[in-house]
Each structure stands twice: as C-alpha cells, then as structure tokens.
Amino acid sequence: MKNFVNHWATVSLFLAAIVALTMNFASFNFTQNILLALIVCMLLHFFEEFGFPGGFPYIGMKVLMNSKEKNPARRGANNLNSLFGNRGFLFLVYVLPLMIPSIRFLTLAAILFSFLEFFMHAIFFNRKLKTFYNPGLITAVFGMTPIAIYYLISTHGQNLYAWHDYIVAFVWCIAVFMFCFRSPIYWSLGKKSGYPFTKRAAFGFAQ
C-alpha cells in the first residue's frame, strides 16, 4: 500500500493513458468528452508537478504558504496527503460532473478551474518566483486551458448556464480546495510516516 501511495504521481501517468484510450474506444457526448479530456490533463498535471520534472511541494510551500522551510515533511506535506488532496479534488471537480450531469454548475466548475490553473501557473507562480516555468505550467497552459476555451466557444449561445451558476461553480471550487488541501483530514495525513517525497518530487529543478 505504501509503495502504491509513494508512486501515486507515476500511477497518474498510466491512468491518463487509460482514460485517453477509453475516450477513443467508447461513445461519449460532447460534454463528457470535454470532461474526460480535462481529466487526462489533470492526471498529467499531477505527474508534471510531482513526477517529472517535479518540484511542486517546495514551490507550493514557498508561494502558497509563504514558508522558507525546505523540508516538506516539516510542513505536513507527504505523498499520502498529496494523494488525498489531488485525487479528491479530481473526483469532486472533474469526475462528479460525469456522474451527475444534470447538476449544471458541476460541469461549469471543471471549466472554470481550468482557467484558475492557467492564472496560478502562468501568472501567479511565475511572478512570485520570478521565473518563466513552474511545475504544472505546461499541462495547465497547453492542456486544460485550450480545452476549456474550446468548450466555451462550442457552447456559446446555447444558454446552458445562468449567471448564478458561475458564482456557485466558483464557490464550489474554493470549497473543494479547502477540503482537499486545508482540512484537518489533509493535515492529519501529512503527519503519518512512511510517505516521504523523493528529492525530485519535492524540489525538481529547484533543489
């Protein structure tokens, strides 16, 4: 079990391939294909952040938590709570709309979060770090963002969403983020031993 958890980012790469193959060999409607494509990108996003080139744990602590601590374990970050947070977020924001398509704001939340990922990786992190790249940028900018734009262009004029759907979708993204990455469950899992990041996962090119 620990071996599986400690390689969750690499497993994400294989899951992305499985979802991509499923899209090619099964029949889905337009919105389902968009969500599945975003799921593929998110799984690749996890690998970029924690697998190759890696380094997001250190950058996340430095930028999001304003911490100078270089050891993620001392800030309650490990593979176990990273798995919980990222997989939990993937399920609640991207998989749930596939299961409950009638709840419109869930699909919209998946689209909006793709733009939030663009803002965080293309603008926020780079400005804070004074860099041109941070782990997660490629999949956010060249994966999730174009898919989200394509969805909005393709559904323009169909009046799928009311103005309040955008508000609820945004609030849902924030609420899910707080549960997955700031809740007592997340922090308690970070205290468990046996799930340390490798140097590449923790620091990537920043070590």
Phi (first) and psi of residue 71, to 5 degrees: -105, 110
Q: How far apart are CA 59 and CA 49, in angstroms?
A: 10
3-state secondary structure of 70: coil
Give the per-residue pLDDT at 1: 82
Angle between helices 30-50 and 56-64 (to 10 degrees): 90
Give the per-residue pLDDT at 68: 76
- How many separate domains does the chain show? 1
Angle ∠(111,112,114) on CA atoms, nearest 5: 70
Give the per-residue pLDDT at 204: 87
Give the per-residue pLDDT at 127: 95
Which H helix or E strand runs over 94? none
Q: What domain range includes position 171?
A: 2-203
By the 10 Å C-beta count (0-12 exposed, 13-18 middle, 19+ buried), 80 is classed as buried
* pLDDT tens track, the chain, 207 positions: 899 999 999 999 999 999 999 998 989 999 999 999 999 999 999 999 999 999 999 998 889 888 777 777 778 899 999 999 999 999 999 999 999 999 999 999 999 999 999 999 999 999 999 999 999 999 999 999 999 999 999 999 999 999 999 999 999 999 999 999 999 999 999 999 999 999 999 998 645
Q: How far apart are CA 207 and CA 193, in angstroms?
A: 23
Q: Alpha helices of 69-182 — where are they, by DSSP H?
A: 79-89, 96-99, 104-118, 125-129, 137-139, 145-154, 163-182
